[in-house]
Chain A
Amino acid sequence: MTKRFGREAVVDQLSLDIYEGEFFALLGPSGCGKTTLLRLIAGFERPDAGHILLDGVDLAPVPPYRRPVNMMFQSYALFPHLSVEANIAFGLKQDRLSRREIATRIADMLAMVKLEGLGRRKPHELSGGQRQRVALARSLVKRPRVLLLDEPMAALDKKLRSDTQFELMALQRTLNLTFVIVTHDQSEAMTVADRIAVMDHGRLIQVAPAAEVYERPRSRWVADFVGDINLFQGRLGNDRLSVEGTPAGNLRAGLKPEADPGAIVWLAVRPEKIRISREQPALDAANCTSGTVVDIGYLGDMSIYKLRIRDGSMVRAAVANVGGAERPIGFDEQVWLSWPIEAATVLTY
């Protein structure tokens, strides 16, 4: 599918399969086209080229009010002049359901989102979290084939966000619906989603389950976008398992990448995989280099160390604060950095 605003292709020849019953996340930076993609599925934008197939039926010519798809808006978009019950009932009324059926469904929904007793209230009488649940209830009550969520937790504070994430996952499993969520928060995507589609400039960069996106990113861009990454640039060795000439010396990788010997590649290591020690570790099983501690960020559960290695490049290491008697590593200390060979990925672009 392609969608252009003016000359710019906001969604650029993008093809994607989303499976029934999965919790799918569209992840990317602002302006990558993820929200536009969501709106295309909902029907608020029309594609310039391509199809949207739901159960084999092309949705493109169908207006939004006839699609079996419902959306939960970022701003919740609750009708301010209607009560909670009336908001939830709105979609059911368009389907011309009987009053009894509507009342039953509303009651079920209110119980499911834990808003019993608040049915008569108006949106402005509710807290932010409560409004979010009304929005959720309203979009679920019609039992859509696909539920679209547009950054649903953007307005919530951290604690509420994490609680809501788990509730959403439980809800999705119970109802066995297909959820498509748009978010720019990679930890949120990884928490809730079965599979993540990482987007940039209207294109898909990688579509995979969270673990794969995190541990085996497709490109340096994905590696850097989803979490923190250390990159060591070098040339691929003849056995295609070593990377030579990096700032940290010659390094070894566990998997052979799709590239020829001699090509410029990057060895990518996540900060939490790097171990810092005052003693030099055994050289055979791991990659190893030395450096100086330049900065320490204390986060409570872990500390982020910034280290300068031999040629002046900076490396980040994340160390969990597990306690213990040993004095923690401090500023300006000379330390050894090491990580297992399997912990790194070789990236070719």
Chain B
Amino acid sequence: MRRLSGVNVTALVFGMAFLYLPIAVLVIYSFNASRLVAVWGGWSTHWYTELLNDAALIEAAIVSLRLALASATAATILGTLAALALTRFGRFRGRLAFAAMIYAPLVMPEVITGLSLLLLFVTVAVDRGFWTVAISHTTMAMCFVTVIVQSRLYDFDLSLEEAAADLGASPSRTFLSVTLPLVAPAVAAAWMLAFALSLDDLVIASFTTGPGTTTLPIRIYSEVRLGVKPEMNAVCSIMVAVVGVAVIIASLLAKLSGARGAARA
């Protein structure tokens, strides 16, 4: 049983503190009765109730959720297929170019991808709105999905797929009955990542959205660039809580299914 040295423990503690302190501060101040940060006015849920009255904000939240749902699902499908192609289809023509197109968006600054997609939509004279943002988010997220699913496909025991073929399953049947169920955790994790990326995105959405489609980050950004607002503290705290709970549930589920499949290849 390995024990952590003092140095390592210190590193971990400081690292975690650094990561979580700002969020903690945010949550604390969302309960600050006073509007001013300098003054602590006591505990209050005043700002949360204000939120419920902010119709525009709620609408933006709903738009963001629908967007995230659509683009996460599309990105997961496309990204999983791409991962399959990269790992299972051998050296096909254009593989290098394909892989280049997959890895480039991972590091490309968002202003560039946002700008290029907007110019595309303008060139083909498409009305910008919900669907253009959805397409843009899908494009950005599918690359992350590919990377995640691909690494799971690599750890995958190939003889399982050979066994399926040996027993009479065609390639698509093998994929659906054997490969997909076994990479499902990675696919699910990838879906969640795509969801989070879409929900969080500001830059690409700003470039590719149209009138009438305001996402939550766009809304929040327009408010906070002028300074700190207590209502925003409340919004953000809610989002943190939702994400936190979701991730914890997901990892518990992953642990449960992992325990059941203990002897996995």
Contacts and interface: CB of A to CB of B under 8 A. Distances in A.
A71 interface: yes
A114 B163 CA distance: 22
A65 B168 contact: yes
Contacts of B264: 80, 124
Nearest to A125: B263
Contacts of A73: 159, 162-163
B262 A142 contact: no
Interface residues of B, number: 24
A75 B159 contact: yes
B54 interface: no
A77 B167 CA distance: 12
Interface of B: 157, 159-160, 162-170, 173-174, 177-178, 181-182, 260-265
A269 B163 CA distance: 44
15 contacts: A64-B166, A65-B166, A65-B167, A65-B174, A71-B162, A74-B159, A75-B159, A77-B159, A79-B163, A90-B169, A91-B167, A94-B167, A122-B261, A124-B262, A142-B168
Contacts of B168: 65-66, 91, 94-95, 142
B169 A124 contact: no
A123 B168 CA distance: 21
B79 to A, nearest CB: 22
A42 interface: yes
Contacts of B166: 42-44, 64-65, 69-71, 139
A69 B168 CA distance: 10
Task: Please list the 10 inter-chain residue pairs (A to B) with the smallest Cβ-Cβ separation, ordered nearest first.
Answer: A124-B263, A91-B167, A94-B168, A77-B163, A77-B159, A64-B165, A65-B165, A80-B264, A124-B262, A71-B166
A65 B166 CA distance: 5
B162 A70 contact: no
B90 to A, nearest CB: 12
Given A70-B167, A80-B265, A142-B168, A90 B159 contact: no
A138 B159 CA distance: 14
A199 to B, nearest CB: 22
Given A94-B168, A94-B173, A77 B260 contact: no
Nearest to A135: B163
Interface of A: 42-44, 63-66, 69-71, 73-75, 77, 79-81, 90-91, 94-95, 122-124, 138-139, 142
Contacts of A65: 164-170, 174
Contacts, number: 74
Contacts of B157: 75, 77
Contacts of B260: 122
A63 B262 CA distance: 32
Contact of A80 (B165, B170, B173, B263): B263
Nearest to A68: B168
Most buried by A among B159, B167, B173, B264: B167
Contacts of A71: 162-163, 166
Most buried by B among A81, A123, A142: A81
A94 B169 contact: yes
Contacts of A81: 181-182, 261
Most buried by A among B160, B163, B177: B163
Nearest to A95: B168
A124 B177 CA distance: 19
A95 B157 CA distance: 24
Nearest to B177: A90
Given A65-B170, A124-B263, A90 B182 contact: no
A122 B167 CA distance: 19
Contact of A44 (B162, B169, B170, B173): B162
B261 A90 contact: no
Contacts of B174: 65
B165 A79 contact: no
A123 B263 contact: yes
A132 to B, nearest CB: 14
A69 B165 CA distance: 11
Given A64-B165, A65-B165, A65-B166, A124 B160 contact: no
A39 to B, nearest CB: 9
B164 A80 contact: no
Contacts of A122: 260-261
